[in-house]
Amino acid sequence: MHNSYYQSCQKNAGNNDREKRKALIHQTKSAWLQKLTSLDHEEDDPGTTWNKDARKRDKGRMSPRMAWRAIQAGLPSNAIISSDIGNNCAIGNAYPTFEEGRKYLAPGLFGPCGYGFPAILGAKIGCPNVPVVGFAGDGAFGISMNEMSSCNRKEWPSVTMVIFRNYQWGAEKRNSILWFDDNFVGTELDPELSYAKVAEGCGLKGVQVKTQQELTEALKKSCEEQKKGVTTFIEVILNQELGEPFRRDAMKKPVKVAGINAKDMRPQRT
């Protein structure tokens, strides 16, 4: 009796309101895509003006969201992608869509800075006939960029690596400006360094892009050239806008627990 009951359940499992649920999923996805299309820039927290100032300072540069929409337009539907930690990649998590599993390699919440590049190399070794694209900010990419000297070997399959170049450790700066009223320290990266030129120095293809059209075209071309054994590093020049911190619920200003007064000090004995 119990066995026949379970068999009948298996035949009908998931069928109740299936079409209604499918319609809701489709409606929710469409609304979310429309929302993403309308977003160009990041908002500032009260008391800070970093994003507003960044837009004014670098008027001709793409914002991270503009870059991710260009990536959406150029990314093959069957591609495997990897992401790194960092502010630009965190913004980008909202944009790619997948029709099958095992297509997105993410560092998760463990914070392994430099994950994106070696992860996409491994993905291509495992799936040599599938286009692969890795993503990393310029800070995180610097952690694992030494693999640029390895991946041009003949036995290594070709990949595409996208590097978001905003010349800063974005996630760290985001915390700093939120805590310390737009002040920060130790987050700036060398503006004279070009990862595209480093790629060329390693015998690889390096491309620098500054517009959405350039980015879309470079991404499409690089994925096609993977079939010809060409590895491409796409350096995307961005403004310095910063998105949401990773843990806003944990973002509280440091509390002053004890003051320092000169009167409390005394000369040390020699």
Kindly report, residue by residue over 206-261, the tens digit of the pLDDT.
999 999 999 999 999 999 999 999 999 999 999 999 998 877 776 666 677 677 77
DSSP per position, the chain: -HHHHHHHHHHHTT-TTHHHHHHHHHHHHHHHHHHHHH--SPPPPTT--HHHHHHHHTTTSBPHHHHHHHHHHHS-TT-EEE--SSHHHHHHTTS---SSSS-EE--TTS--TT-HHHHHHHHHHH-TTS-EEEEEEHHHHHHHGGGGGTTTSTTSPP-EEEEEE-SB-HHHHHHHHHHTTT---S-B--TT--HHHHHHHTTSEEEEE-SHHHHHHHHHHHHHHGGGT--EEEEEEB-------TTGGG--PPP------GGG--PPP-
Task: Tokens for 187, please give them.
Answer: 């987050």
Distance of CA 142 to the CA centre of its chain: 14
Mean pLDDT calculated for residue range 126-155: 95
Least confident of 59-63, 110-114, 142-146: 110-114
Position 8 pLDDT exceeds 80: no
Q: What is the pLDDT of residue 134?
A: 98
Residue 3 structure tokens: 């066995």
pLDDT of residue 167: 97
- Which domains are assigned to the chain? 59-248 (3.40.50.970)
User: Can you tell me the distance from the alpha carbon of 240 to that of 215, in angstroms, rounded to the nearest whole number?
Assistant: 18
Over 60: is that where the pLDDT of 1 sits? Answer: no
**Confidence band, pLDDT 50/70/90 cuts, at residue 131:** very high
Percentage of residues in the chain having pLDDT higher than 70? 93
What percentage of the chain reaches a pLDDT higher than 90? 69
* Residue 23 confidence (pLDDT) above 70: yes
Query: Tens of pLDDT along 154-177?
Result: 899 999 999 999 999 998 898 888
What was the pLDDT predicted at 91? 94
The dihedral through the CA atoms of 212, 217, 222, 223 has a sign that is positive
Binned at pLDDT 50, 70 and 90, residue 79 comes out as very high
Identify the top-confidence range among 37-41, 74-78, 180-184: 74-78
pLDDT digits (tens, 9 = 90+) for 42-64: 999 888 899 999 999 999 999 99
Spatial distance between the Cα atoms of 163 and 45, rounded to a whole number of angstroms: 27
